[in-house]
Amino acid sequence: MRMKLDHIALYVEDLEKMKDFYTCFFDAVPNQRYHNPKTGLQTYFLSFSDGSRLEIMQRPDTSPRASGEHPMGYVHIAFKLGSPEKVDLRTKILREAGYPLLNGPRTTGDGYYESVLTDPEGNLIELVA
């Protein structure tokens, strides 16, 4: 049986800011905001050109993020851009917009050409060739 990952979900503090970030810098297309008044949950599904989706969610009863340099759980989201030149360009655009570059652009030990930045809430994003 062949499977395809449908989406990844991420709790965020500022739903609109995060939606704007992914739509502006990664060409995501948001659906209409969902709101459940009973639980306070609000979400957007952000769709990317390859069919992958990121669900960003906000609700009033979330707990703080795990602490430490390498906490357990999901680590980063990686976007495949197609070439080192596209990685360099997108890295430059994000840096000029004020998003911190944590690493790269560089070729990793396992052969990826990548840079690592963060989104507005500090979630790691890899840009790969």
Checking if the pLDDT of 70 tops 90, the result is: no
* Assigned domain for 52 exists: yes
Total number of domains in the chain: 2
CATH of the domain at 18: 3.10.180.10
* Assigned domain for 65 exists: no
* Assigned domain for 2 exists: yes
pTM exceeds 0.95: no
Range of the domain at 103: 75-129
- pLDDT digit string, tens, across residues 101-116: 999 999 999 899 999 9
- pLDDT digit string, tens, across residues 27-68: 999 999 999 999 999 999 999 999 999 999 999 988 877 767
- pLDDT digit string, tens, across residues 7-31: 999 999 999 999 999 999 999 999 9
The verdict on 46 and 99 lying in the same domain is: no
Question: At which of 60, 87, 108 does a domain end?
Answer: 60
For residue 16, give the 3-state DSSP assignment: helix
* C-alpha to C-alpha distance for 4 and 60, rounded to whole angstroms: 31
Checking if the pLDDT of 127 tops 90, the result is: yes
The verdict on 35 and 80 lying in the same domain is: no
The verdict on 50 and 26 lying in the same domain is: yes
Distances (CA, A) of 1 to 4, 16, 66: 10, 37, 35
Q: And the tokens for 1?
A: 């049986």
Phi-psi region of 99 (alpha: psi -120 to 50; beta: other; left: phi over 0): beta
The verdict on 54 and 102 lying in the same domain is: no
